[in-house]
Amino acid sequence: MDQASLGKTKTNELTVQGAPFSWAPWLTAVSGTLLVFVTLTWLILTSEDIRDFDLSIARTLQQHAHDHSAVRQFFWLVTWVGGIVGLTVLATTGTLTMLFSRRYLLAAIWVLATAGGALVNLAIKETVARVRPIPEMRDESVAHIGNPSFPSGHAMGSAIGMGMCLFVALRFLNGKRAKLLISIGLVMLILLIGFSRIYLRAHWFTDVLGGFTLGASWLVLCLAIATRFRAGAPSEGGRK
């Protein structure tokens, strides 16, 4: 076999093994969600209409919660699931599962996504310093919270944590039906956790929207890093 044929054969083998990694689609997704977040932040800081819109939603939900105690208790449970304890248990379980499965890269990315996301959220909260709904307006279960409001940590944390679960499920589960059901369930849980923060008036509506968009942006960036390393490095312990 001559050199030209040998080179062509090697090229074909590389093509079969997998398409080359490209940053373009990942950075497009990160930029798109980040643009929404930055725009939302600017509106919160400058627009009285946005603040009035948030206040009207909070007042409407306050009245609804007052008249429907069972619904209020349901969303209290949902908000607990999406809190520090629930998301820490999720992150720990996910990381340990990846470690025991010898998928060390995904374990590291799970830690980066969760811990890094929490630090990003804290930094932006302190920078924007948006005030939460007044304690008298909030549900009694969240009336004691005193840290800044924007973006919602529950919304951002659930987008990252459940998003990691979704990524792992889509990658490793067999069967389209199972993937579809789990995807729907996780997306619904993310939305419920976010809405619970609005329903209990722990956050303004735009706080939750900001948490979702920032969380999605950070998650996609972390997954892009994982995919890049997986495409360019040999498997760890036989797996990636």
Query: Per-residue pLDDT tens for 167-197?
Result: 999 988 888 899 999 999 999 999 999 999 9
Residue 162 has a pLDDT of 96
Tally of domains within the chain = 1
Q: Which of 3-17, 42-56, 95-109, 163-177 has the lowest mean pLDDT?
A: 3-17
108-130 burial, b for 16+ CB within 10 Å, e for fewer? bbbbebbeebbebbeebbeebeb
Residues of the domain holding 200: 23-232
In a domain, 11, yes or no: no
In a domain, 55, yes or no: yes
Is residue 237's pLDDT more than 70? no
Alpha helices, H only, 68-175: 69-81, 84-100, 104-128, 153-172
Model confidence band, residue 8 (pLDDT cutoffs 50, 70, 90):
very low
In a domain, 146, yes or no: yes
Confirm whether 154 is a catalytic residue.
Answer: yes
pTM: predicted TM-score of the whole model, two decimal places: 0.86
Q: How far apart are CA 200 and CA 154, in angstroms?
A: 13
Is residue 148's pLDDT more than 50? yes
Residue 21 has a pLDDT of 77
In a domain, 240, yes or no: no
- Of the residues 64, 66, 144, 203, only one is catalytic, namely 203
Q: How far apart are CA 153 and CA 215, in angstroms?
A: 9
Indicate the average pLDDT of the chain: 88
Q: Got the DSSP string for 36-79?
A: HHHHHHHHHHH-HHHHHHHHHHHHHHHHHHHH-HHHHHHHHHHH
12 CA to centre of own chain: 38
- Of the residues 64, 66, 68, 154, only one is catalytic, namely 154
In a domain, 2, yes or no: no
> For a pLDDT cut of 90, what percent of the chain falls above it?
78
